[in-house]
Chain A
Amino acid sequence: MTNQEKRKNIAILFGGRSVEHEISIITGLQLIKAIDTEKYCPIPVYIAPNGKWYLGDKLLDRNFYKNMPKSLSSVHEVVLLPIPDIGGLAVLQANANALPNPESYKGKDIIAIDLYFPAFHGSYGEDGCIQGLFELANIPYVGSDVLSSSIGMSKYHCKKLVEAHGISVLPSILISKEEIQKNLGHNLANVRSKILKTKDFDKFPLFIKPATLGSSIGIAKAIDEPSLDAALVQAAKYDTAVIIEPCLDNKIEINVSVLDQGEITASVVEIPVAAAGGELTYEDKYMRGGSKKSGDLSQSGMANLARIIDPQDLDPSIKSLAQENAVKAYKAIGCSAAVVRIDFMLDLNSNTLYFNEINLLPGSLAFYLWVKSNPQMLYTDMITKLIEQAEARHILKLSTLREIGFKALFK
């Protein structure tokens, strides 16, 4: 191939210690299939459920994941060291048959990487954790930084922040898992009365969800006290805190993507469609359509969800409010070099548009919205834009002065 030497090595990271591990694999592999290979050389990096990092071309084959953990012996085990200026992934255990081959850097086996592109969903990958490692290693990476990722990941804190910027949100209560566990013996009476005594929370139905999780895992609607107890226990199984909101019974969901392409822009809106009406389940999001065998994740992940993109019968003023608020929220949360998806709920009773949550690394990177936006943006071009924004942000960061000295010690 021409220009092969000049191509930048882009590590695409996926998998991770998250319940959304599998969906991340889909997002990662999809990204690799769409990246401009004339400009970039994509290098797949897989974080296994146990947290170990692997690198190698075998990761591109779906069968690799079927044959886990046996297949792990066909790839390199690598790690990103939290030390600046190494610029690549250190090889812990090389595999003679895996590609690309490591090079030697100051006596260490290193696989050179120019930029890191995380394609994780959920814990440790979307919440600022891995972003912290990127910061320590001082390498350019795509997507929001530590602070905005962790704020965005907490449904509660995120809502408080965007509310302060004039965006409507539903009232919410945050209860820690500790509090729930402590009260388990007492039938959760204390927790329950605390909730029901709060303003706006005195009547059912209520909606309960884990405070940071995505993909509709652990969510439940409470219609009375017993179902509230059950919902609290269930949600606390998945997270260290639980968030409670009034339940909207007559609503539609409206999602918008926001992309940093130099200018912060909003995509067209979409209305995701649940199989049986009501809330979208994990199955709706990832298992429906395409897959024949049960338990077999569909190839295209979020891009495959039943949805209406740019619905013609939706009030244009609601559409533009969603787009406006989405851009506002992106900026308020402090996202950068990112593509996010912001989910709103439109209460059909009051015609109020509520910000519900931000997905800092949305499934399929929400490319399916951009291809329907005006002007159309191809996934390939979107990936290039994100990489360029990430490079620009890194250069900007390097230009900020940080002098470290020992003057104070030896005065």
Chain B
Amino acid sequence: MNTIKIGKSDGYPLIMLHGWGQSLQSLKPLAELLGNYCQVHLIDLPGFGQSPLPEADWNTLQYAEAIFDYAQSQGLKQFDILGHSFGGSIAIRLASQHEKAINRLVLIGARGLPRQSKFTQKLYFSFVKYLSKLVKLTDKILNCQIYEKYFIAKFGSRDYKNASPGRMRNILVKTVTENTIASAQKILKPTLLLWGEDDTETPIYMAQKYHELIKNSKLIILPAKDHFPFNDVGSHLCAHYILNFLSADNQKKQFQIQAEAKHNATV
């Protein structure tokens, strides 16, 4: 996995996970602002940026395990985690699977909740699904590539189009229908939900749902921001809320780390 570390080497560790179709670059400006206080670990998720493809068609749980393994390899016993979009659902999985390892969570436009689609939308989706089967069948019979060449261009989601056929598309199909409700319910750690009010990819009803599901969560809705509230100077606004949230008991944690280091040194 391609990773970079930014910021204070003696700061409290924070792992940041990007969204689908992105790479660690998308979170870098935000990471640089947080780096003045935290030891930031930016990760290219397997299959994105400069990280190689995962060895199988992973679901978010498997992604979460890969992140956990990375943290272990870095000697991080406990850390904060920030996830955007797809990275958000991975963070949720990680927090529910490895409760002890996670200290606090920041979720920005996190995926993982079913869309509330209107009846007409539902009708449209089932029509597209039916059509896709039909087209695939035609392709098979006539040995042509209507599906790849025309159908996806017309009906595929942006993410689907961007995913290269094969492994990443399989992973997208697998993860997009995953549901993190049960995992989110298990999370007891302090959680900050940052959400763009104009987010169309993960609309704010999802933020409200997560706010209900995660007991110890705080929700901040950012007016006039979309699914990428940390772009441009939005990085300053997001960093402001994140640092306020993280600094609440950072000093205490800092002290613990130092004490631990001392302890380890003497042992």
A-side residues, CB < 8 A to B, are 1, 30, 32-38, 60, 299-300, 303, 367, 371, 375-376, 378-381
Q: Which of A1, A34, A300, A371 contacts B237 (CB 8 A)?
A: A34
Contacts of B76 in A (CB 8 A): none
Contacts of B239 in A (CB 8 A): 378, 380
Contact with A along B190-224 (1 / 0, CB 8 A): 00000000000000000000000000000011111
Contacts of B33 in A (CB 8 A): 371, 376, 378
Contacts of A38 in B (CB 8 A): 220, 241
B-side residues, CB < 8 A to A, are 33, 36, 220-225, 232-234, 236-237, 239-241, 243
Contacts of A381 in B (CB 8 A): 240
User: Is the pair B221, A30 in contact by a Cβ cutoff of 8 Å?
Assistant: no
Contacts of A299 in B (CB 8 A): 232
> Which of A60, A303, A380: most chain B CB closer than 10 A?
A380
Q: Report the nearest B residue to A32, measured CB to CB.
A: B224
Expressed in whole angstroms, the Cα–Cα distance for A375 and B113 within the complex equals 39
> Which of B236, B237, B241: most chain A CB closer than 10 A?
B236
Q: Min CB distance, B37 to chain A, in Å?
A: 8
> Which of A300, A375, A381: most chain B CB closer than 10 A?
A381
User: Is the pair A300, B240 in contact by a Cβ cutoff of 8 Å?
Assistant: no
Contacts of A37 in B (CB 8 A): 222-223, 237
User: Is the pair B237, A60 in contact by a Cβ cutoff of 8 Å?
Assistant: no
Q: Which of A60, A371, A375, A376 contacts B224 (CB 8 A)?
A: A60
Expressed in whole angstroms, the Cα–Cα distance for A30 and B234 within the complex equals 9
User: Is the pair A30, B233 in contact by a Cβ cutoff of 8 Å?
Assistant: yes
User: Is the pair A34, B223 in contact by a Cβ cutoff of 8 Å?
Assistant: no
Known: A1-B221, A378-B240, A380-B240. A33 touches B234 (CB 8 A): yes
Contacts of A36 in B (CB 8 A): 237, 240
Q: Report the nearest A residue to B221, measured CB to CB.
A: A1
Known: A37-B222, A37-B223, A376-B36. A300 touches B236 (CB 8 A): no
Contacts of B233 in A (CB 8 A): 30, 33-34, 300, 303, 367, 379
Expressed in whole angstroms, the Cα–Cα distance for A223 and B236 within the complex equals 46
Contacts of B222 in A (CB 8 A): 37
Q: Report the nearest B residue to A35, measured CB to CB.
A: B237
Contacts of A32 in B (CB 8 A): 224
Contacts A36-B240, A300-B232 known; list 6 others, CB within 8 Å: A34-B233, A37-B223, A303-B233, A367-B236, A379-B233, A380-B237
> Which of A375, A378, A381: most chain B CB closer than 10 A?
A378
User: Is the pair A33, B232 in contact by a Cβ cutoff of 8 Å?
Assistant: yes
Expressed in whole angstroms, the Cα–Cα distance for A19 and B223 within the complex equals 31
